[in-house]
Amino acid sequence: MKKSAFLGALTVASIAASAAVAQDASTVDQIKERGKLNCGVTTGLVGFAAPDANGQWNGFDVGVCRAVAAAVLGDANAVEFVPTTGKTRFTALASGEIDMLARNTTWTFSRDVDLKFEFVGVNYYDGQGFMVAKDLGATSAKELDGATVCIQTGTTTELNLADFFRANDMSYEPVPIETNAEAQQQYLAGACDVYTTDASGLAATRATFEDPSAHVLLPEIISKEPLGPLVRHGDNEWGDIVRWTLNALIAAEELGVTSANIGELGASAGANPEINRLLGTEGTLGEMLGLDAEWAKRAIMAGGNYGELFAKNIGEDTPIALARGLNAQWTEGGLLYAPPFR
Amino acid sequence: MYHMTSMTDPHRGQFRLSMLFNDTRYRSLTYQAIAAIVLALAIWYLGNNLLQNLRTAGLNISFGFLGDPAGYDISQRLVEYDSQSSHSRAAIVGILNTLLVSFLACVTATIFGVVAGVLRLSNNWLVSKLMSVYVEIFRNIPVLIWIIIIFTIMTAVMPAPRAFRGDTPEATMLLDMFAFTNRGVYTPGPYFTSPFFANPFLNWVLVLAVLAGSLFATRRVAHWATGVQEQSGVRPTTWYFTLGLWVVPVGLLLLVMGLAWEIPELKGFNFKGGIKVGGALIALWFALSIYTGAFIAENVRAGIQAISKGQTEAAGALGLRPRRTMNLVVLPQALRVIIPPLISHYLNITKNSSLAIAVGYADVTATLGGITLNQTGRAIECVLLLMAFYLTISLLISVGMNFYNKSVKLKER
Ligand SMILES: N[C@@H](CCC(=O)N[C@@H](CS)C(=O)NCC(=O)O)C(=O)O
């Protein structure tokens, strides 16, 4: 049988079998006991989460997992990366197979409220776009009437797509696909005219093509896709840790704390009290989280601050070449705005 | 029976509790009762735990979501459906797609199986070896792999619709009527032009009704021919009669209804008009057919070999040619051996069709158990409904096939 139905059955079985006592151990304690963070990521989207030639996972979402592992366990490599598809990710999180999910996942009302997850923030403000072969000659998504469109199932993408074509009174043939790799293969074979998903994902996918210049992203962005890490409802302490680790990465960029100067800044209390509180040279923020004073320092050292993670994995100097755009700090005209560390 | 009699045993008055374990008359009953109680307790424990844990997790079992708009589109739909339709409608679309591919695959798998099974016993060395190779290759590789292989080859080898475009296209339509593309096969589709027959659905019902009438009439003719044969020993030639009964009424009806064919044409991104048989359907259908056909071939062979050689020899002695011996003597008897396992192959096809999502075919596992499950998060409800569906269908197939099995069984009088 198919994986998601299998996982569904597995959830039933595991919910049925786990006696109420087992749920009392908090997520942090479980992670500490295990010595590893189970982090759900994509099955492979270069730039966001993909294993390299040595089997080492790299990417922007992977960076969040590693930062959390560094904060909680003191080791950025103490992460078990669990590849999930658009369809399996929520079951994996709900059943406890993973502790957190960092997989280009859009924060929506129903996922938060009805599926009972807690989005801890946004690590990439995105929107859904369309990619077509250049020789198709299309210049706007409004010209796609009658096209065959590849989509990943279990995503917001397939719902937005239905709305968009309906609103514009156009028809299309959906080709539902499970993973980005299969979608890419179908698209390149010409089995679909259009590939649609989050614009960042399109850029990342196109960067891996043999000839990226033969494909264009159409100008329309048809939805809001705030992508962020999430945890299960019900363990707020754990939610706080993931939330504030993400905030620490964002605040570090705003405050000018980088992996290059953090050793110096974190050695002793300096002139900026917020930096001091963030890096644990002042105050007891770490203790409030149930961690030690240097939690945020380790998280930032794991892969650098938000800006460094962005530049290294998906930024303008990488083949994916995404501009900061909405994902710049609020001080630079973007939407990133970490609440104060106090 | 044994226990029944022991119950009315006159020595019953001397019953002691220890006899429940020591006395062979009661022991097996005792153990069965204990096992049943333990099983019931285990089920109760799991069920109760499930409900309890669901409640603490704030989840409740409710099927209300089935009435909400599904929000997603499905490309192959046998009934009207769009993204505003409900989840239950999406499930129905999926169910029909499951039934369609299962039915098609059962028919073709049976054809493949019978042909390969008979040919495997052929005296021609090459033919029989080729069939052995077919059987061994196809039944020893998982069907999921076949589905993916066939689909991948199709998308990679066949031309995209855009290859049909331009003054000197890379690909052309067969006979200007059929287009083979990597998205599927487009064929001309029938439609009715007469203004008096505007409802296509009713028209097809009418066509089926006329065909049923023809079937009845041809049966009468065959019956009459048998009667004549029994009296005179000579069977009258009836084939032109039968042919006429099949062709003329339905032909006239179609003429009156103004049957016309719509030829697919490249418009915009895709071929429009006619009938589209999607690539996913073809891959799934073909893979299920050749895979299960290999198993059926083995059954057919076993069934034929179960008929003693004497039967064939006797038929030969009566002057029947080998072909007729096979059709009139061997196969009818072999059916008794072939049909029971055939039932389970049909069940397997139906269940294996749930691998559809591997190629994006929108069967019920992909709609209800896939997208709906995922978008609503109602995993338990969706999986329960899926289980109920497959169970019902499987039981219906079993009942139907058992019925057929009874009708071909040796009638012992
Ligand atoms: N943001 C959307 C879509 C997420 C999505 O599926 N993204 C794709 C492409 S950006 C992906 O990450 N694919 C990787 C994989 O197939 O594992 C959602 O949360 O539903």
Q: What are the distances in angstroms from CA A338 to CA A100, A126, A134, A254?
A: 20, 18, 40, 9
Return the higher-pLDDT residue of A82 and B358: A82
Q: B293, B112 in Cβ contact below 8 A? A: yes
Q: A198, A158 in Cβ contact below 8 A? A: no
CA distance A102 to A124: 11
Using alpha carbons only, what angle is made at residue A142 by residues A136 and A147, rounded to the nearest 5 degrees? 50
* pLDDT average, residue stretch A215-233: 94
Place of tokens 């009566």: B318
Residues near A169 by Cβ (< 8 Å), separated by ≥ 6?
none
Residue B18: what pLDDT?
Answer: 81
CA B385 to chain centre: 20
Residue B104: what pLDDT?
Answer: 95
Return the higher-pLDDT residue of B299 and B405: B299
Residue A108: what pLDDT?
Answer: 94
Confidence of residue B11 (pLDDT cuts 50, 70, 90): low
Q: In 10 A of CB A323, how many CB atoms?
A: 9
- HEC secondary structure over B33-93: HHHHHHHHHHHHHHHHHHHHHHHHCCCCCCCHHHHCECCCCCCCCCCCCCCCCEHHHHHHH
**A26-125+227-332 and A128-223 share one CATH topology?**
yes
Do the Cβ atoms of A233 and B370 come within 8 Å? no
Residues near A252 by Cβ (< 8 Å), separated by ≥ 6?
A258, A262, A278, A296, A300, A305, A306
Confidence of residue A11 (pLDDT cuts 50, 70, 90): low
Confidence of residue B97 (pLDDT cuts 50, 70, 90): very high
* pLDDT average, residue stretch A32-40: 95
Q: In 10 A of CB A330, how many CB atoms?
A: 12
Q: In 10 A of CB B400, how many CB atoms?
A: 12
Single-letter amino acid code for the residue at A76: A
Residue-wise pLDDT tens digits, B255-275: 888 888 888 888 788 888 888
Among the ranges given (A9-18, A101-110, A188-197), the one the predictor scored with the smallest mean pLDDT: A9-18
Please tell me whether the interface predicted TM-score (ipTM) of this complex is above 0.85: no
CA distance A281 to A14: 43
Percentage helix, strand, coil for chain B under 3-state DSSP, each rounded to 5:
70, 5, 25
Question: Is A84 a pocket residue for ligand 1 (Cβ < 6 Å)?
Answer: no
Q: B121, B309 in Cβ contact below 8 A? A: no
Confidence of residue A2 (pLDDT cuts 50, 70, 90): very low
From A39, A61, A82, A104, give the residue whose CB has the most ligand 1 atoms within 8 Å, as the site to mutate.
Answer: A104
Question: Is A281 a pocket residue for ligand 1 (Cβ < 6 Å)?
Answer: no
Return the higher-pLDDT residue of A203 and A137: A203
Do the Cβ atoms of B270 and A191 come within 8 Å? no
Residue B127: what pLDDT?
Answer: 92
Residue A6: what pLDDT?
Answer: 52
Q: What percent of chain A is predicted at pLDDT more than 70?
A: 93
CATH topology of domain A128-223: D-Maltodextrin-Binding Protein; domain 2 (3.40.190)
Confidence of residue A19 (pLDDT cuts 50, 70, 90): very low
CA B89 to chain centre: 22
Instruction: Give the nearest partner residue to B354 out of A2, A154, A159, using CB atoms.
Output: A2
Rounded to 10°, the helix A3-17/B24-56 angle is 100
Confidence of residue A24 (pLDDT cuts 50, 70, 90): low
Residue B367: phi and psi, rounded to 5, are -85, -70
* pLDDT average, residue stretch A265-281: 90
Residue-wise pLDDT tens digits, A135-191: 888 899 999 998 999 999 889 999 999 999 999 999 999 999 988 988 998 899 888
Instruction: Give the nearest partner residue to A148 out of B46, B54, B183, using CB atoms.
Output: B183
Residue-wise pLDDT tens digits, A54-75: 989 999 999 999 999 999 999 9
Q: How far is the CA of A235 from the centre of ligand 1 (A)?
A: 26
CA distance B19 to B11: 13
Question: Is A104 a pocket residue for ligand 1 (Cβ < 6 Å)?
Answer: yes
Which tokens sit at A211? 């000839």
Residue-wise pLDDT tens digits, B358-392: 888 999 999 999 899 988 888 888 999 999 999 99
Average per-residue pLDDT for chain A: 90
In chain A, domain spans: 26-125+227-332, 128-223
Domain B87-149+278-408 has CATH 3.80.30.20: no
Single-letter amino acid code for the residue at B298: E
Average per-residue pLDDT for chain B: 86
Q: What percent of chain A is predicted at pLDDT more than 90?
A: 77
Over 70: is that where the pLDDT of A7 sits? no
Question: Is A313 a pocket residue for ligand 1 (Cβ < 6 Å)?
Answer: no
Can you identify the CATH homologous superfamily of domain A26-125+227-332?
Answer: Periplasmic binding protein-like II (3.40.190.10)
Return the higher-pLDDT residue of A67 and A234: A67
Confidence of residue B323 (pLDDT cuts 50, 70, 90): confident
Q: What percent of chain B is predicted at pLDDT more than 90?
A: 35
Do the Cβ atoms of A2 and B355 come within 8 Å? yes
Strands B189-192 and B259-262: antiparallel
Residue-wise pLDDT tens digits, A304-324: 999 999 999 999 999 999 999
R_g over Cα of chain B: 29
Q: What are the distances in angstroms from CA B119 to CA B108, B122, B264, B287, B335?
A: 16, 5, 38, 21, 16
Residue-wise pLDDT tens digits, A84-93: 988 889 989 9
* pLDDT average, residue stretch A114-133: 94
Please identify, by atom number, the ligand 1 atom nearest to the C-alpha of residue A152. 6
Over 90: is that where the pLDDT of B5 sits? no
CA distance B160 to A142: 22
Chain B residues with CB under 8 Å of A20 CB are 52-53, 56
Place of tokens 């995209």: B160
Q: What are the distances in angstroms from CA B65 to CA A323, B208, B374, B379, B410?
A: 40, 38, 12, 12, 51
Residue A28: what pLDDT?
Answer: 92
CA distance B352 to B342: 15
**Strongest mean pLDDT among A208-212, B168-172, B243-247:** A208-212
